[in-house]
Amino acid sequence: EAGVTQFPSHSVIEKGQTVTLRCDPISGHDNLYWYRRVMGKEIKFLLHFVKESKQDESGMPNNRFLAERTGGTYSTLKVQPAELEDSGVYFCASSQEGSAVYNEQFFGPGTRLTVL
Amino acid sequence: QKEVEQDPGPLSVPEGAIVSLNCTYSNSAFQYFMWYRQYSRKGPELLMYTYSSGNKEDGRFTAQVDKSSKYISLFIRDSQPSDSATYLCAMSASPSGTYKYIFGTGTRLKVLA
């Protein structure tokens, strides 16, 4: 079974440009999460989709970030315009839906974003 | 103050040593406590999870949760060079772990051959 995949693995852009990150969750996983790790800090939650709906977007830093999940499958995270402080590693994770048992969040390898 | 505190290390130990990794937290609503291992340039990979208080053992790894002290630990017995990685504690207030995780900063561990 394929794991969570993310594209690109690394992106280098200039301040003010736009970047779109993509995440393909494990097939059948209704829950999809975006996290971010800024250098020297902990991994921080950005938002959580259940299928195509945003369940929790409390971690989104500002309105320059836009996340979508078309048809409840893959998700994109767009940063427009990018700022220097957006540099970091963006992780995507997915998990099955369930209320009675623990559902592991499986993480992708991350996209390393560098804003110059 | 961060919700989860974790010593970033680095921690260097000789092969075969017992390693103790710890996190403290402030939110009493946390119900699930996870330990993830992350190798360089890879995503975090779940090692173990514990629900509420107690101990859990899996091979060379033991996880402990003390909710009264808001303190969790991961012990690695007979440590191997292949255990060299960053170890992340994570916590969730969800009844099924499907809510957001709150992570510690991670502890870098190096096991010397």
* Residue with the two structure tokens 């053992």: B57
Q: Positive or negative CA dihedral for A42, A19, A49, A94?
A: negative
Return the C-alpha torsion angle A41, A57, A93, B2, nearest 10: 30
Q: Which of B6, B45, B49 sits opposite A102 (nearest CB)?
A: B49
pLDDT in tens, chain A (116 residues): 689 999 999 999 999 999 999 999 999 999 999 999 998 899 999 999 999 999 999 999 999 999 999 888 999 999 999 999 999 999 999 998 766 677 889 999 999 999 99
| B88/A107 Cβ within 8 A | no
Interface membership of A110 toward B (CB under 8 Å): yes
d(CA A72, CA B9): 39
d(CA B63, CA B79): 15
| B103/A44 Cβ within 8 A | yes
As a three-state string, the secondary structure of A60-97 is CCCCCEEEEEHHHCCEEEEECCCCHHHCEEEEEEEECC
Mutation target to probe the B interface, by most B beta carbons within 10 A, among A49, A102, A103, A106 is A102
How does pLDDT run across B26-57, given as a tens digit for each residue?
999 998 999 999 999 999 999 999 988 889 99
| A103/B44 Cβ within 8 A | no
Q: Specify whether the CB–CB gap between A66 and A46 falls below 8 A.
A: no
The residue in chain B having the minimum alpha-carbon distance to the alpha carbon of residue A91 is: B43
Mutation target to probe the B interface, by most B beta carbons within 10 A, among A37, A43, A91 is A43
| DSSP structural state of residue A50 | E
